[in-house]
Amino acid sequence: MNFSVLTLITHLFGRPPDLAIPRPLWRHLLEGLQTRGGGYRESGAFLLGPPGEPRRVSTIVFYDEIDPAAFDTGIIQIDGGRMADLWRICRGTGLVVVADVHTHPGCAGQSESDRMHPIIAEPGHVAMILPNFAAEPMRLDDIGLYRYLGAFRWDRRRQGFLRPTLAIGG
């Protein structure tokens, strides 16, 4: 994997981005979300990578690979009992969940449900929301990136020249 974009951002801005994903995995993620959502319903995935910072995505596990009924209602609902399958994958690969991602029909703002029901309620967890059911073209400035602070509080990470938060490269 080539993380030269990660290195460049770290050098230029003095800190790595909150999340780095190689271009081939980014393409796979968008295609998988688009296919699963069909252009009319939400879909999502867990982004796995090695432990530590920066958060580098190396594997994608779509929600329906954990819970086949996750998208059946048009909104995302994962049976908590099915999460054991995700933890088994993490133990077997030595990877951790570096972020989760899901789609929205319009913009990438957090809904009240997103704020009150984090998929992983652990401070520091990163959640990404892609607008328009991940339809292309996808502009980085339109992506919502949120870091969970605990107690149902979130920090919205902003794209832009001064605060790069998502690196897609490789």
What was the pLDDT predicted at 74? 77
Q: What global pTM score does this model have?
A: 0.87
Check pLDDT > 50 for residue 163: no
ω into 137 cis (within 30 of 0)? yes
Q: Which run of H or of E encompasses 167?
A: strand 166-169
Residue 84, classified by CB atoms within 10 Å of its CB into exposed (0-12), middle (13-18) or buried (19+), is: exposed
Confidence of residue 5 (pLDDT cuts 50, 70, 90): very low
Average pLDDT (90-102) is: 96
Structural domain including 105 reads: 27-158
What was the pLDDT predicted at 150? 95
What was the pLDDT predicted at 75? 83
Average pLDDT (51-67) is: 93
Q: Is residue 18 part of a domain?
A: no
Least confident piece of the model among 62-66, 134-138, 166-170: 166-170
Q: Is residue 35 part of a domain?
A: yes
Rounded to a whole number, what is the distance in angstroms from the first to the last CA of the chain?
6
Least confident piece of the model among 8-12, 16-20, 72-76, 77-81: 8-12
Output the domain CATH number for residue 111: 3.40.140.10
Q: Is residue 75 part of a domain?
A: yes
How many structural domains is the chain composed of? 1
Q: Is residue 7 part of a domain?
A: no
Average pLDDT (73-102) is: 94
Look at phi and psi of residue 63 and say left if phi exceeds 0, alpha if psi is from -120 to 50, else beta.
Answer: alpha
Please provide the average confidence, as pLDDT, over all residues in the chain: 86
> Coil, helix or strand for 169?
strand
Q: Is residue 58 part of a domain?
A: yes
